[in-house]
Structure 1
Amino acid sequence: MIGRALNPQEESRIQTVRRTTSQFKACSLLSTDELLSSAVRLHGLSCRAVGGRYVEASEGRSAAAPSFRAFLSYSHADFAAAQRLHRKLERYRLPRHMRPAGGDGRIGTIFRDREDLAAATDLSASVRNALASSQALIVLCSPEARASQWVAREIALFRELHPDRPILAALIDGEPREAFPALLQDGCEPLAADLRKQGDGYRLGFLKVVAGVIGVPLDALVQRDSQRQIRRVMAVTGLACAIALVMAVMTAIALKARGEAQRQQAAAEGLIEFMLTDLQEDLAGTAGVAVMARVNQRALAYYEGQQSLTALSPDSLERRARVIGRLGEDAIFRKDYALARRNLSERARTTLSLLGDAPDDPERQFDHALSLNRLAVLSEAEGKAAQAEAELRQSWALLSGLRAWKSGDPEWRRATALVAGNLCAIDGLARAVDDSTLGKCRIAVELGERLAADDKVASRAPYDLVFNMMWHSVALEQAGRRDDAGSVRRKTLQLADRLASTHPDNRKIKSQRMEIYGYLASFEAPPVRRAMLTTALRIAQELTQLDPERADWRSNLDNFRKRLEE
């Protein structure tokens, strides 16, 4: 016999291990020796097999096994993806409020065999040791991983060692059915993250993996990540504004630097316009009022610091008008109507002045039509219905002259759909629906459907389409076409439900669903009306908890409660 024979107490522990191993053997992909070796280590023994028995391998050795936050299991065909995920996980830092006292915010060590076994002499034993000391298992899922016997064995052993610890499936290639290993499709649903572009996308998928590893709600990480992005953009914006200011001083000193200063100014203004258009559109579903207000204040401070507008080029004036107008729209959402009136009136004066300089320029006609439409939205919010209608009809006259609905420019089509939809709404609310009204409603819906088919951002064209369909149903109801109205109403609710289920974390879309259910409930029979109002109330409660600063959400919450009491 090689080595020292076990004493009676150790022999008893070995018998316990053998009984435990026999219970797992029936459902395991591993050999008896592999299971027994892992079970021996779990029972505190350090042994090796000799002649069918286990004997102590090194008397007195008690090196503590390292502890891993997670074990990363993958096919070596996916080495590059595994390396990328491994690095991001070990470099990721948790938000400060989630860190343990005295911690640096790192998740902890993630085991990946090619990196962590560089000096190992026994690959399989080291892998089993790592699985035994890992708090979670992350499986990179792909067709290659599904075919890998080693991935299957690691999943099986982890389940046997830690039946109560999480297994996180991270899909990197293929469809789930062809990429998930068989053991992850046996009824034990794993926590899954889709890292593919057509799935969650890498950023959201990565945050899902982090949330699963450390056991925190995904929404908390997404909110913190959005705030980090905002801070980075604000820092870049501040730098760009500083550069623009420095270049303005240099222009006064050296006329030769004038061209460069104008380019720097255009870059700063373009960045600010991006912050208030595309960036705000992307963040509208996740960032709160306070975050968006900080972005707006930074941009407004830049433009209010411009002493004279006469020196600005037409391009700069047009960009300034667009930014000031966007600030006015945000002020409407916050119900700061005085600020909204100041900003939107300034936009309208600027676009009218530019139109006066070039009355036949289609772009300037279109820009002024947009100014009038936004003033109409504000007038409606202020309760000035007659003024809102007049401004909308002026806007429609400009767009009709341009035949903007036939334009190939998506921005023109979207603006035309908005104005047509607003006029459809006004006529529907005033119970003054005629064939002309229904024609505008159809234009709004048909343009919206084409735009929504090409727009990947759900909070833009698809969002507008839902409201235009709602007003179309109202107009049909007022025209006495109740069957058609009911059909359009059902399609509107279905589209609102589909957008909300596809984008559950987008607050803008969730808010729209609340409004749609609350408004269209009025056209239904009492049982259906109560069910729809109950749905609207529940959404209002969820939104108010997410962002208590939104006055419109609080107002809707009170309104739905009163209507249900009635």
Structure 2
Amino acid sequence: MTGSNYKYPGFISYSHRDRKVAEWLHRALENYRVPKRLVGSAGQFGPVPARLYPIFRDREELSAGALAEQLRLAIAQSRCYILICSPHAATSRWVNEEVEHFLSVRDPASLLCLIVDGEPNATAKGHPERECFPPALRNATVNGLPLEPMAAQLDDDADGRDNARLKIIAGLLGVGFDELKRRDLIARNRRLAVLTGLSLGVAAVTVALAIFAVLAQREAEHSRQQGEELIGFMLGDLRGKLEPLGKLDILDAVGDRATAYFAGLDRGSDPGPRALAARAKALRQIGEVRFAQGRPADAVETLSAALKLQRDLVAAAPDDNALLFELGQTEFWVGYAGWRAGQFDQAETNFLAYQAISQKLVSRDPANLSWQIEVAYALNNLAILAFERHRYTEALPLFEQVVAKARGLVDDAALASEATKLLGALSWQGSTLLRLGRNAEALAKLQEHADLLRARVQAQPDDQWQRYALAFSLSTLGYSALDTGDTAIALSAGTEGAALAKQMVSADPSNYDYRQTLLMHSQILAGAEFQANRMEAAASENAESLRLLNDLLAHDGTNRETRRRYMTAAQLAYEMAWLRHDVAQARSVVDEALGFVGKVLPDAKPDRVDYAQAHLYALELAVYEDHDEVAAQVHREAARNALTDADESQADDAHASARLRALLGLMSGADHIPAAAQPNTKAPWTYSVQRFVERHCGKPNALLNKQLCSQYPPDAQHPRLSKTRDDR
């Protein structure tokens, strides 16, 4: 293509965390007016245009579809490639892939870099945390020499924002920076001269305009209030219509623009309580949408702003039930954010505040069934917290109360939908019974909940929320069936749930929760195929779950549930490698697991259990394959320290922590397995102690005595293990 034949003057590539800079640059480029004396002159790419429009910004321009195909086409149709460089971009898989593709098909001379943080090639200088170039750019060469792209720096100590903007514009126009800056300055001075002349005329009418100032201010306040109520409608009523269709991605731009709109308002003015209430509600609704899209940091930011605003409003008008209700909703969502991040103490504080508000509303109007629903929701939240803390005897009666309240409301047509959501407590009730060892009752409750939702889906086949609720319920049933050794139920739940999840992801690819649900069912199917001794099918499903996991982790690497599921997939891959006696594959799994948990050791207790698990894999290889006592001691200490720090009451599965302690003991000379670590099912993630003993009893090793080995005969379910034991 020639310079004039490109569809886009530029393509902006950036990490999601640099979105605000990308939005600023996008506006700055498209709104820039080229100085008249430069327009039409000869530039590097042909005649200089009057405008740089349109600029392609990948996260905004792309629609739901084949991402890679659209990106390749957009890059091919762009004259220049603009890379926003930062430590976030340097570690972004997606940015690196875009740069890699660009360099493979285009002239590197058309690459323009805007450095917003960090420094180029800092990795080579021993400061990888400061690196701002992605690997594809750091490794690129031209004629055997390292590529040195044109780079502008946003920092005031370097180019500064204005000069950095002009450098990028000069690169897009194909003209020299100094020439553009000189022409731009001349054009600005001319505009200033014109404005100075006009200001004299403006002064003449200022007095007349002042007469209408008060009326204009009132009209502006009225318009602003209408605008904020419209935003509330789009994020509330319109969201209610889009959510069943699985089309929340339509509201993405609404949330971003509304957030920017609110940030720029009220420079010292008082908009009034009604406008502030509308704004607070809109901010809370933006937070809800952000959670559904897997953007927890953005969600927490807007929810915190809403909470502060609503607390102030309620303090000023404590008898206003509508304001009190909205405050309760935001207290819940802030608590939900804490629960989702594993910060249970924070979650409890907000959930108790939500419960107190709901009870206060009911005391003011006992006949209001909607507020009774809120009391039930509050009770359900506290029951879930008790479950997460492994206080199962405390959680069970709370869930039973929620189910009883929901059954009493489900026949009310106006409340049927909310009552159905509350009946999700049936699923939690089943999970609690499972932890208490009442397996038959547990599966019955889980089946009952899935049957109830299946009937709702059949009655409302186009309601995407009902599909999601059923798919999630089936995931709980599937995991529970695996844990109790019921392979048939696990396969059935996994197959049905995966089909539902694929439909949901196809309808709304941006919905993080839908993609999480598809991942869960992929793992359920992998575990069920493993239990059924169909190893090829298990390996295929586990590989698919790892692919889904990598996509989710690239989007949000902080999500606690996603991190735990990564280790579930790693454990299954590790066990299958040992069954095949494929030590090289087992080592590959261990290296990846160590890399995953080694990036950061968070305070969240479940992550410490995962950290210990990865080091125990490495310890097994060091002791039984490499006979490397130095490496063994390193991994033994890492696992011991992590398990010492881990609080079993906070871990997702106290049995998992007990099993890891047992494995550490067996690899350190213990001669027995504690009762708490005994596997009680054939589920791949609960069966690790028995498999470990089977793997190594056939080898001459002082760490495992004959009496211990005699307690664990070969596993008849997986004959390959017993067949190859003597050979090993």
Aligned to 1:466: 519
Question: 1:65-97: CA deviations, max 9, x gaps?
Answer: xxxxxxx9965843799xxxxxxxxxxxxxxxx
| Correspondences of 1:386-535 after superposition (within 5 Å) | 386-404=440-458, 407-434=461-488, 437-455=490-508, 459-504=512-557, 506=559, 508-525=561-578, 527=583, 528-535=585-592
**Does the 8 Å contact 2:395/2:432 carry over to 1?**
yes
Aligned to 1:315: 370
Q: Flag structure 1 segments of 5+ consecutive residues without an equivalent.
A: 1-71, 82-106, 108-129, 158-196, 206-221, 248-260
| Correspondences of 1:125-524 after superposition (within 5 Å) | 134-138=157-161, 139-140=164-165, 146-148=171-173, 152-153=177-178, 229=302, 231-239=304-312, 241-242=314-315, 245-247=318-320, 261=321, 263-275=322-334, 280=337, 284=340, 292-303=347-358, 308=363, 311-335=366-390, 337=392, 340-341=395-396, 343-355=398-410, 358=412, 363=417, 366-367=420-421, 369-381=423-435, 384-404=438-458, 407-434=461-488, 437-455=490-508, 459-504=512-557, 506=559, 508-524=561-577
Change (3 A) 1:492 1:381: same
Question: 1:13-46: CA deviations, max 9, x gaps?
Answer: xxxxxxxxxxxxxxxxxxxxxxxxxxxxxxxxxx
Question: 1:496-525: CA deviations, max 9, x gaps?
Answer: 112212334555534432343235533333
Task: Please state how far the C-alpha of 1:541 moved relative to its aligned partner.
Answer: 4.5
Change (3 A) 1:461 1:387: same
Task: Please state how far the C-alpha of 1:316 moved relative to its aligned partner.
Answer: 1.9
| Correspondences of 1:37-48 after superposition (within 5 Å) | none
Task: Please state how far the C-alpha of 1:376 moved relative to its aligned partner.
Answer: 2.1
In structure 2, distance between residues paired with 1:131 and 1:559 = 43
Task: Please state how far the C-alpha of 1:373 moved relative to its aligned partner.
Answer: 0.9
**Does the 8 Å contact 1:511/1:539 carry over to 2?**
no
**Does the 8 Å contact 1:369/1:399 carry over to 2?**
no
Greater shift in the superposed pair: 497-506 or 387-396: 497-506
Question: 1:288-338: CA deviations, max 9, x gaps?
Answer: 556545433432443465675981522222233334324443454454556
**Does the 8 Å contact 2:362/2:372 carry over to 1?**
no
In structure 1, distance between residues paired with 2:299 and 2:412 = 42
- Any idea what SS the aligned residue of 1:493 has? helix
- Any idea what SS the aligned residue of 1:246 has? coil
Question: 1:358-413: CA deviations, max 9, x gaps?
Answer: 49986367335412012223334555534422220221232344355963222211
In structure 2, distance between residues paired with 1:301 and 1:352 = 23
Task: Please state how far the C-alpha of 1:492 moved relative to its aligned partner.
Answer: 0.9
- Any idea what SS the aligned residue of 2:32 has? helix
In structure 1, distance between residues paired with 2:556 and 2:318 = 40
Task: Please state how far the C-alpha of 1:464 moved relative to its aligned partner.
Answer: 1.8
Task: Please state how far the C-alpha of 1:448 moved relative to its aligned partner.
Answer: 1.0
In structure 2, distance between residues paired with 1:352 and 1:239 = 37
**Does the 8 Å contact 1:420/1:441 carry over to 2?**
yes
**Does the 8 Å contact 2:331/2:354 carry over to 1?**
yes
In structure 2, distance between residues paired with 1:466 and 1:370 = 20
Aligned to 1:54: none
Task: Please state how far the C-alpha of 1:477 moved relative to its aligned partner.
Answer: 2.8
In structure 2, distance between residues paired with 1:348 and 1:540 = 39
**Does the 8 Å contact 1:433/1:475 carry over to 2?**
yes
Instruction: Give the alignment's Cα RMSD to 1 decimal.
Output: 4.8
Task: Please state how far the C-alpha of 1:466 moved relative to its aligned partner.
Answer: 0.7
Do structure 1's residue 78 and structure 2's residue 32 form an aligned pair? yes
| TM-score for both structures, normalised by structure 1 | 0.53
In structure 1, distance between residues paired with 2:347 and 2:155 = 47
Do structure 1's residue 554 and structure 2's residue 586 form an aligned pair? no
Q: Give % identity.
A: 14
Which amino acid in structure 2 is aligned with residue 267 of structure 1? E
Change (3 A) 1:136 1:414: same
In structure 1, distance between residues paired with 2:482 and 2:468 = 21
Which amino acid in structure 2 is aligned with residue 318 of structure 1? I
Aligned residues: 370
Q: Which has the larger radius of gyration?
A: 1
Q: Flag structure 2 segments of 5+ consecutive residues without an equivalent.
A: 1-24, 34-50, 53-115, 117-152, 183-251, 261-294, 621-728
Question: 1:218-254: CA deviations, max 9, x gaps?
Answer: xxxx99988765542331342455477423xxxxxxx
Task: Please state how far the C-alpha of 1:428 moved relative to its aligned partner.
Answer: 2.9
Change (3 A) 1:288 1:482: same
Do structure 1's residue 544 and structure 2's residue 601 form an aligned pair? yes
Which amino acid in structure 2 is aligned with residue 298 of structure 1? A
In structure 2, distance between residues paired with 1:228 and 1:132 = 25
Task: Please state how far the C-alpha of 1:478 moved relative to its aligned partner.
Answer: 2.6
